[in-house]
């Protein structure tokens, strides 16, 4: 997966988050977001690049990438 494809996936997850406000959907969105973040890291994107793309702090991205 290319960095552009990963970013698009992250954007889609964030856009979906606004459509499904209930708790089950929130859990699903978070899991999808976390999986996409881990894929982006595995493909060589920096925490700061990912954070800037999705509006999280780089430290939060690092926590997610580490499985926390």
Number of Cβ within a 10 Å radius of residue 25: 13
Domain that holds residue 18: 3-65
Residue 36 per-residue DSSP state = H
Model pLDDT, residue 27: 84
**Number of structural domains found in the chain:** 1
Q: How many H-runs (helices) and E-runs (strands) does the chain carry?
A: 4, 0
CB 34 within 8 A of CB 61: no
So what's the pLDDT on residue 23?
62
List per-residue pLDDT tens for the chain, 68 residues long.
677 777 777 776 666 655 656 667 778 888 888 988 998 999 899 999 999 888 899 999 999 999 86
**pLDDT value for 26:** 77
**Cβ atoms 17, 29 nearer than 8 A:** yes
What does the alpha-carbon distance between residue 38 and residue 62 come to, in Å, rounded to a whole number? 9
């Amino acid at each position: 997966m290319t960095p552009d494809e990963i970013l698009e996936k992250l954007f889609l997850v964030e856009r979906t988050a606004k459509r499904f406000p209930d708790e089950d959907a929130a859990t699903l969105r978070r899991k999808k977001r976390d999986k996409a973040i881990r894929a982006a890291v595995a493909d060589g994107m920096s925490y700061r690049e990912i954070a800037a793309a999705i509006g999280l702090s780089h430290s939060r991205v690092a926590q997610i990438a580490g499985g926390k």
